[in-house]
Amino acid sequence: VMSDAPAPRPRVAVSRTGLPGAAVRRLVSRYDVTSWEGAAPPTSAELGTLVRGCEGLLVLGSDRVDAALLDAAGPGLRVVALASMGYDGVDVDAAAARGVVVTHTPDVLADTTADVAMALILMARRRLGAGMDAMRRGEWGAFRMDAFLGLDVQGATLGLIGYGQIAKALARRAAGFGMRVQHHHPRRTEDDALSRWVTFAELLRTSDVVSVHTPLTSETAGMIGAPELALMKPTATLVNTGRGGVVDEEALLTALRGGQLHSAGLDVMMNEPRTDPADPLFTEPHLVVLPHVGSATEETRAAMVELAARNIEAVLDGDRAPTPLPG
């Protein structure tokens, strides 16, 4: 005997409210959705309570997805969709052991994030942030031939650490600015029309701008430390739009203060968010900092949430997820 009662709708948890775009409304029309309504992000315990009994979970890159959270969800959990490209907050092995599909958002944010990397290159190298700060303090002064001097971007060599989508999008932009481009990736890749592969040491020694585009893993944590900064030219700029943990911040500050490095631009830091106005990273004159805004446009953030939602829908419909984690 078949019952006429509709099957219960799958339960889906969303770790924030007010996500951009229409995707969450679509999820609400299809599933029994519970969103975290708090003004602050949920703690691990709060996220665990939210996700209990759910089949799908939509989270941000800054949310921790570890074994405890997966166990808090229970055995019905089938998919964790990150509205984020980076997945260093996920215990990938714990998810695989529980048969949970984890997805992320490649493709949709590469150009937008590369824009911020290019902006940091221009800001740091041309000392544009320092110029703005001087104006705000009333220190513009008479025009001088030797005031606010930076270093040229055209003709400079850009060294990309990692050669994925964001690095390639930056290489295209840099070519338009007249830069030469080289890259290092642990797996030697073919040179292409935009960039040639070099060893890590050669990249550090010969680049005028070094830009970090590697994920944060146990191999890449702290990979730009004092010895690596010492290999760089004293006229070089370091830019990081990847993950803060790849760069040793203390070593970077020491290099900038000692004139071992021209400048740096960071969109990502260790221990985000950083809210102390006296933070040495905020007050160092040759350093430009941004609050992790690489993908922060209306269009791109909506596209990230849309892709995360499509991953949840695919898995819950029994289809292949469009963008599972690689590997």
Position closest to ligand DGY via CB: 61
d(CA 237, CA 286): 9
Give the nearer residue to ligand DGY in terms of CB position, either 191 or 272: 272
Q: b or e along 277-291 (b: 16 or more beta carbons within 10 Å of the residue's beta carbon)?
A: eeeebeebebbbbbe
> Which one from 16, 184, 243, 262 is the annotated catalytic residue?
243
Per the CB < 8 A criterion, the answer to whether 34 and 10 are in contact is no
Closest separation between CB of residue 105 and ligand DGY, Å? 6
Binding footprint of ligand DGY, residue count (CB under 6 A):
6
Question: Is 86 a binder of ligand DGY (CB under 6 A)?
Answer: yes
Please identify, among the stretches 15-23, 81-89, 201-209, 225-233, the one whose residues bind ligand DGY according to the rule CB under 6 A. 81-89
Query: Nearest distance from residue 215's CB to ligand DGY, in Å?
Result: 9
Catalytic site includes residue 272: yes
Asked if residue 61 binds ligand DGY (CB under 6 A), the reply is yes
Q: Which of 103, 157, 220, 295 binds ligand DGY (CB under 6 A)?
A: 295
Catalytic annotation on 243?
Answer: yes
Residue 276 has which token pair? 């102390």
CB of 323 to ligand DGY, least distance (A): 12
- Longest C-alpha distance within the chain, in Å? 89
Q: Assess 106 for contact with ligand DGY (CB under 6 A).
A: no
Is 59 a binding residue for ligand DGY by CB under 6 A? The answer is no
Complex with ligand DGY: residue 86 or 131, whichever CB lies closer: 86
Neighbours of 326 (CB within 10 A): 9
Name beta bridge partners: 266: 240, 289
Q: Using DSSP, state whether 288 is helix, strand or coil.
A: strand
Q: Which is nearer to ligand DGY, 109 or 303 (CB)?
A: 109
* Residue 120 contacts ligand DGY per CB under 6 A: no
Question: Which is nearest to 116 in space by CA: 295, 318, 314, 325?
Answer: 295
Listing DSSP states for 73-141 in one string gives H-TT--EEEEESS--TTB-HHHHHHTT-EEE---STTHHHHHHHHHHHHHHHHTTHHHHHHHHHTT---
Q: Is 21 in the site for ligand DGY (CB under 6 A)?
A: no
> Least distance in Å: CB of 78 to ligand DGY?
22
What does the radius of gyration of the chain's CA atoms come to, in whole angstroms? Answer: 22
Does the protein bind ligand DGY through residue 311 (CB under 6 A)? no
CB of 80 to ligand DGY, least distance (A): 14
Tokens found for residue 34: 């519970």
Question: 15, 35, 84, 207: which one contacts ligand DGY (CB under 6 A)?
Answer: 84
Q: How far is C-alpha 167 from the chain's CA centre? A: 12
Is residue 233 within 8 A of residue 218, CB to CB? The reply is no
Q: Measured from the CB atom, is 159 or 164 closer to ligand DGY?
A: 164
- For residue 46, what is the DSSP state? H
Residue 84 or 220 having the CB closest to ligand DGY: 84
The residues that touch ligand DGY, with contacts defined as CB under 6 A, are: 61, 84-86, 109, 295
Active site residues: 243, 272, 292
